[in-house]
Amino acid sequence: MNAPTLTYDGLISLSPCADELKRVVRRLGGPEKWNGKQITAAQARDAGISFDSILWAASALARDDKDIDRRLRLWMADCAARVLHIYEKTETSTAPREAIIAARQYARGEIEAAARAARAAARAAEAARDAVRDAAGAAEAAAWAAGDAAEDAAWSAAEDAARDAVRDARNAAWAAGDAAWAAEERWQFDRLIARLSDDEPEDWPLPDRNAERSAA
């Protein structure tokens, strides 16, 4: 599918924060230059638009756009899959792994009952959140971009669960140091842009569970 785009009028319709709107419009050359043009997420990042702003806009658009909603669900599942190995080094529950699989199936319309995916993701996220924090030794650190965007969009329990997984990925990296936290955020930003592009990436692979257990 073609990459999602946003016009100046489209951004205005989302009712963004006035100060952030000014910054974004200024980065994109002002309303005269941007007005009438379709801007992709990749073009926005190249112009200097922040991770938080792009994620906020995508989350707002996802409320009425099924394709963007699908892309964001898959992005959050990728973020969770990337840190699943931390959990599975010490824990035996398969709930987090099953939740990632269910979230991807739900995003692609492969699960008929939405409630089934939501319940599985919610249960798994609760277990994964605690285990990942313990394994990483992370204190309470917020992933403001993913958390605030998902809350503002008032997503379902499945999205809330995926949002928590994104936050846990950042918390785990944060515990290892500022440099690791920043690297994790850069990866998430890169992955978000890839998910919002014409050529979407393959799902981030789930770790080999047996290998993780052996390494532990």
User: Which amino acid is it at 195?
Assistant: R
Q: How far is CA 96 from CA 52, 92, 155, 212, 213, in A?
A: 26, 10, 19, 14, 15
pLDDT by 10s per residue, the chain, length 216 = 789 999 999 999 999 999 988 999 899 888 888 878 899 999 999 999 999 999 999 999 999 999 999 999 999 999 889 888 888 888 888 888 988 898 898 899 887 655 565 566 556 656 555 554 544 443 333 333 334 444 444 345 556 666 666 666 666 656 656 666 778 889 999 999 999 999 999 999 999 877 655 555
For the chain, the structural domain boundaries read: 5-61, 66-210
Q: Could you tell me the two tokens for 124?
A: 């798994």
Question: Would you say 196 and 49 are in contact if contact means Cβ atoms under 8 Å apart?
Answer: no
CA distance 156 to 159: 5
Question: Would you say 8 and 44 are in contact if contact means Cβ atoms under 8 Å apart?
Answer: no
